[in-house]
Structure 1
Amino acid sequence: MGKVAKLVFNFVTIFGLLMISPNALAEQVLWLKSLSGVDAKQQKSIHINESSIQLIRQFMPKMNFTEVLVNNRRAYSILASEPNACTGNKLKTSSRMEQYYFSDLPQSLSAGLRLFVIKDSELDRQLTRLYPGNQQVSVEQILQHDSLKVLGVVGGRSYGNKLDSVLTDKAIQTKLWSRTSSDMFIGLLKMLLRNRLQAIVEYPSVVNRYDKTLFENIELVSYPIKEAPEMGLGYIMCSKTQTGLALIAEFNRALELACQTPEYYQLHWDWNGQLSEGEFRHLYTKVYPTIKEPIE
């Protein structure tokens, strides 16, 4: 479908929904779907958003979803103008909460930044001694050790205020390798596998996107980072209208049911595939407290 055809389709879709009565509108969801979803190269990165909403929708049988492909700018415009617009996997902030309604539970869970190293390397053995039981690793402290000769990071990227403060310290710049080419992460990963770096900082879900043939016979292990948030959460967000409030109530009910299913648990574990099941189970039950016993 060409660009003009998409615009016409979206206009007709939205105009048609406006003709629905207010009562019926409460059962109509104008679901704003990211345009990146049609890019085959990004399929893995949008998997958690698309797959999780399909599982949630199974618990909303009376709701009619109309999907509209939009970029981020267009999505916020529609959320401001249409009473029944919703979208997924959004960061919940205080400023956004003034403008939109958010689900109580997150739609998606991604483990926070971790320090990836080669299993049984000198650095891995030292980390195991210093931080037994998979404790959080202090990047600031480990940069002082001789076993970490070079740490790989993506150039021009923010890792959050605390970690950025550590990584911009002039005293440790000789131990940093910052890659800024078009293949930033994959280049760092290859350098780690060739032992040109001793560690890299990345999200488990990002490492998990890449073909496992890259790893050959080398096994990676990761450690949670003290200077980074434990996890990232993406929420369902709807228009701040009476209809939007009613829709969020429906999403809340469906989410509470969906998150207790083995399918929802497995989807998120697959997404965070670089974590052990014990680590993932700890995060999952922390985020979804409605689960009384671990899902088998």
Structure 2
Amino acid sequence: MRFSWLILLVCVFLSTKCNARTIKWLTHDFAPYYIISGPNKSQGRDESIISLLEQQLPHITFERVIIPSGKVIQELANLQSNACALSLYRNKYREERVYFTHQSSTAGLSPSIAMHTKLSSALDIEDAKPVSLTNLLVNKKLTLGVSMNRSYGSEIDKIINTTPGINLVIRPTRDTLSTLTYMLNLKRIDILLGYPSEHYYLAKTMGFTDDLTQRMLTEAPEISYGYIGCTKNEQGAEDIATLNQQLKLIKQTEDYKQILTRWLPSHLKPKLEAHLQ
């Protein structure tokens, strides 16, 4: 009798263990989305959203793996590797290879330019007023700093790649934005292209917040959305369905809204908050 109960307990244990579910998240060393070290460690936007989902799904184990951001889609497209990633752009090429949530996982302000506060004053650019990148490059002859092999949206990319006679400084180094932000503070470039939370985080951590400011661009849409992508197999379909449902719930919370605006300067927070109601 005791032996029968022992067998039953072993079977239950093995069944539970075999049926345990894990979601492997692909993350990166890329502040302010993932902050791997320093005083703001684990306060990145995207990693904090993953933590909110983890709290909602205590029966699922969340495993985090750090890989280069340029290899995320390649890893997700590997049918032998079950994984998910947060805050991805959806396009036809990716949707052929990866499952995506219908619910957006993140929302952020579209590309902006950072510049010296003295330059913004000299150009008489108001805080809340978007500026034309084309005008700054073609008419004002300002020098623009950009990261190599990075997309900023079709319209902005077109301006950078096809406008003749503009002054560009392109940096391919690993810490591209940090290098360019340092150059901007030294006035070796006039304006720097990136995303608002990136500009603010770097200026803050490098001690340049009083010297640098940023402006939205008329050529870019106001908001950019990111989605969760998972491997296009049976487990990926199950994970996407679960995560899509949980996104509906966490997007109604104040914690979610605070995370999305955490690394924005005060004058730009209302622009994003208006889309999070």
TM score, norm. by length of structure 2: 0.72
1:165 equivalent to 2:163? Answer no
Matches within 5 A, 1:140-219: 140-145=134-139, 148-154=140-146, 156-158=148-150, 159-169=152-162, 171-173=164-166, 176-180=167-171, 182=173, 184-210=176-202, 212=204, 214-216=206-208, 218-219=210-211
Distance in 1 of aligned mates of 2:213 and 2:35: 33
Q: CA deviation at 1:216?
A: 4.7
2:54 corresponds in structure 1 to: 57
Q: Is the 8 A contact 1:53 1:107 kept in 2?
A: no
User: Equivalent residue of 1:237, what SS?
Assistant: strand
Q: CA deviation at 1:125?
A: 4.5
Q: Which amino acid aligns with 2:180?
A: L
1:244 equivalent to 2:236? Answer yes
2:214 corresponds in structure 1 to: 222
User: Equivalent residue of 1:136, what SS?
Assistant: coil
Q: Is the 8 A contact 1:45 1:209 kept in 2?
A: no
Q: CA deviation at 1:229?
A: 4.0
1:31 corresponds in structure 2 to: 24
* RMSD, matched Cα: 3.6
1:86 equivalent to 2:78? Answer no
Distance in 2 of aligned mates of 1:255 and 1:157: 31
1:138 equivalent to 2:144? Answer no
Q: Which amino acid aligns with 1:100?
A: V
Distance in 1 of aligned mates of 2:247 and 2:122: 38
User: Equivalent residue of 1:92, what SS?
Assistant: coil
After superposition, the C-alpha distances for 1:238-278 in whole angstroms (9 at most, x for unaligned) are 33345433332221221111112121111111133475221
Distance in 1 of aligned mates of 2:66 and 2:270: 38
Q: Is the 8 A contact 2:133 2:218 kept in 1?
A: yes
Distance in 1 of aligned mates of 2:156 and 2:84: 33
Unpaired runs of 5+ in structure 1?
A: 1-18, 286-290, 292-296
1:67 equivalent to 2:66? Answer no
Distance in 1 of aligned mates of 2:168 and 2:199: 18
After superposition, the C-alpha distances for 1:142-184 in whole angstroms (9 at most, x for unaligned) are 3344xx44222226344443223323456433xx241436354
Matches within 5 A, 1:259-274: 259-273=251-265
Distance in 1 of aligned mates of 2:112 and 2:186: 20
Q: Which amino acid aligns with 2:54?
A: R
Q: Is the 8 A contact 1:117 1:124 kept in 2?
A: no
Q: Is the 8 A contact 2:132 2:218 kept in 1?
A: yes
Q: Which amino acid aligns with 1:75?
A: E
Distance in 2 of aligned mates of 1:101 and 1:45: 27
User: Equivalent residue of 1:81, what SS?
Assistant: coil
Q: CA deviation at 1:230?
A: 3.2
2:6 corresponds in structure 1 to: none
Distance in 1 of aligned mates of 2:124 and 2:272: 24
After superposition, the C-alpha distances for 1:176-226 in whole angstroms (9 at most, x for unaligned) are 241436354334323433444432222112223326263457343322212
The number of residue pairs the alignment matches comes to 252
Say which is worse superposed, 160-169 or 257-266, in terms of deviation. 160-169
Q: Which amino acid aligns with 1:136?
A: P
Q: Is the 8 A contact 1:114 1:224 kept in 2?
A: yes
Q: Which amino acid aligns with 1:98?
A: E
User: Equivalent residue of 2:57, what SS?
Assistant: coil
TM score, norm. by length of structure 1: 0.68
User: Equivalent residue of 1:271, what SS?
Assistant: coil
Of Structure 1 and Structure 2, which has the larger fraction of its residues in helix? 1
1:104 equivalent to 2:102? Answer yes
Q: Is the 8 A contact 1:113 1:201 kept in 2?
A: yes
Unpaired runs of 5+ in structure 2?
A: 1-13
